[in-house]
Amino acid sequence: MEFAELIKKRYSVRAYKADAVEEDKLQQVLEAARLAPTAANRQPFRIIVIHTAGREAELRRIYDRGWFAQAPLLLCACGIPAKTWSRSDGKNYNDVDVSIVMDHMVLAATDVGLGTCWVAAFNPAAARQVLGLPDGVEPIAFTPLGYSADQPRPKERKALSELVRYEKW
């Protein structure tokens, strides 16, 4: 798919079919994560692949929406801040690194016909417990991964004139 078409096609899917995700498609999504750029190439992230079947109630402790555990798979993008590059003033870039990884996966999923939805409004304590995360590994975002059972809505976006400044604010 052309990139311009791909970024128009991606939308937040909030209803999923029960259809299985083919292993080769999952691997394409994970490979897109692996190829993501990270600051100083530290690669301070881990992706957790979660099979939802039979675990729906437990997983909804993480984010209580009917669609959260509806797809056959959930992905959790985690960061490891202590292994992340920091700027000279101390700013740690882990959220940036993990966001790029997440977006690579979301776009790769769109490219192979799968739906996703960024989820950041989850309960981090429940996520830590359900996924057994060790200290130092921070869950940043989740997405279901599966076939969409809903329809894209028109994109509501600000005009470029509001979003872009040339040369100076």
Task: Work out the angle between the directed axes of helices 23-34 and 94-111 (0-180°, nearest 10).
Answer: 150
Rounded to the nearest whole angstrom, what is the least distance from the CB of residue 121 to ligand FMN in the complex?
A: 3
HSE of 11, CA atoms in CB hemisphere, 13 A = 16
Answer whether 142's CB lies under 8 Å from 62's CB.
yes
Dihedral angle sign, alpha carbons of residues 77, 58, 110, 162: negative
Encode 63-76: b = buried (16+ Cβ within 10 Å), e = exposed.
Answer: beeebbbbbbbbbb
Rounded to the nearest whole angstrom, what is the least distance from the CB of residue 82 to ligand FMN in the complex?
A: 22
Q: Which is nearer to ligand FMN, 119 or 127 (CB)?
A: 119
Rounded to the nearest whole angstrom, what is the least distance from the CB of residue 37 to ligand FMN in the complex?
A: 18
Q: Which is nearer to ligand FMN, 11 or 20 (CB)?
A: 11
| Cα–Cα distance for residue pair 5/12, rounded to 1 Å | 16
Contacting residues toward ligand FMN, per CB under 6 A: 11-12, 117-121, 155
Q: Which is nearer to ligand FMN, 6 or 120 (CB)?
A: 120
Number of H helices and E strands in the chain, helices first, is 6, 3
Rounded to the nearest whole angstrom, what is the least distance from the CB of residue 11 to ligand FMN in the complex?
A: 4
Dihedral angle sign, alpha carbons of residues 35, 38, 40, 41: negative
Q: Which is nearer to ligand FMN, 80 or 102 (CB)?
A: 102
Q: Which residue is closest to ligand FMN by CB?
A: 121
Q: Which is nearer to ligand FMN, 49 or 120 (CB)?
A: 120
Rounded to the nearest whole angstrom, what is the least distance from the CB of residue 12 to ligand FMN in the complex?
A: 4
